[in-house]
Structure 1
Amino acid sequence: MKRGTTLFLKIAVILMGLPILAICIFIVPEVGLFGAELYPEFTFIKYLIWLVMYGAAIPYYLALYQSMKLLTYIDHNFAFSQFSVDALKNLKFCAIAISVIYVVGLPLFYLIAERDDAPGLILINMVLILASMVVGVFAAVLQRLLQEAINIKEENDLTV
């Protein structure tokens, strides 16, 4: 397969990382300070907010890295290999990790939403949890299908 065929997808993966980087640089510190203003008696709440949001960014970037690896394997004709299965497995674990981090941080965001009277914050958090779980389940299904395709290919190679 030509190397340029997945160029669009690689550019899309890079562009997916840029808004999250901007959010981590500009918005997350402000959200942490806003949480500390809402609860002045708990100034450590900003660190918890930063921990949840930056903690979710780490597996997100690891998932983007695994996506780039998978696209590179497709470029080099290793799409039906154990390397691709491993990349999908790692992508699945990253998506599950993002969901778990936001589920653990849900009470924290509930406190902020209740004090600020902003129920949309909980809704945004739930959408993030659901979206990452959908990506995780999709990666698990693709991993299983790819593993079965590899097994069938190996079985056919042995019979010829």
Structure 2
Amino acid sequence: MNVRRGSTTFLKVIIFLIGIAVFALCIFLLPEAARRDAIERPGDYSLYPLLVCAYGICITFSIALYQVFKLLTYIEKNNAFSELSLQCLKVIKKCAFTIIFFILLAIVYLRVHAQFTGDDAAGPISLSLMGILATSIIAAIVDVLQKPLKNFPDIKSKND
């Protein structure tokens, strides 16, 4: 096994483990949080908009993980500079912007909810802003990776 295949296999395993963690979050942790909140505060549905945002982020993140997995498969097969790789990068970038959108929705909800309840939402909002920063860095990296692929001769000749 050569070095490239070993490193891509390692990255695939890491992505698979992250995917399992996201799946566990969606199946076990988020419903349990909703159940506990329903028991503690019956009739209060203030957690549900945040759950919608959390599920939206998890689903979008899972799609992006799948695209990264596909991209690593193309790299293993020496198809790194192909139209398929470019498509994967485009989907990953769209997923990053969708995640940013869901985080912004959660921030707006937290801010409005804090206005009405008098709670201090500075902590969750600052964590959300850090998530936006991390996601925008990933989107910028994907954009930088897309530029050489767009200019690669094989892809350019197919697009003409």
Instruction: Give the equivalent residue in structure 2 for 1:109.
Output: 110
Give unmatched runs, 5+ long, in structure 2. none
Contact 1:95 1:132 in 2 (8 A): yes
CA-CA distance at 1:32 after TM superposition:
4.1
Q: 1:139 to 1:98 in 2, by over 3 A?
A: same
Instruction: Give the equivalent residue in structure 2 for 1:83.
Output: 84
Contact 1:31 1:49 in 2 (8 A): no
Aligned counterpart in structure 1 of residue 125 of structure 2, from 122, 135, 154 = 122
Instruction: Give the equivalent residue in structure 2 for 1:158.
Output: none
Q: 1:137 to 1:128 in 2, by over 3 A?
A: same
Contact 1:95 1:133 in 2 (8 A): yes
1:45 aligned counterpart, secondary structure: coil
> Pairwise mapping of residues 1-160 of structure 1 onto structure 2 (< 5 A)?
3-32=5-34, 43-110=44-111, 111=113, 115-117=118-120, 119-148=122-151, 150-151=152-153
Contact 1:106 1:122 in 2 (8 A): yes
Contact 1:99 1:132 in 2 (8 A): yes
Q: 1:4 to 1:10 in 2, by over 3 A?
A: same
TM-score (norm 1): 0.79
TM-score (norm 2): 0.79
Residues 22-43 of structure 1, C-alpha deviations (whole Å, 9 max, x = no match): 33233323544677689876x3
CA-CA distance at 1:92 after TM superposition:
0.5
Contact 1:36 1:46 in 2 (8 A): no
- Give the counterpart letter for 1:93 in structure 2: K
RMSD: 3.0
Per mean C-alpha deviation after superposition, the further-off stretch among 10-19 and 70-79 is: 10-19
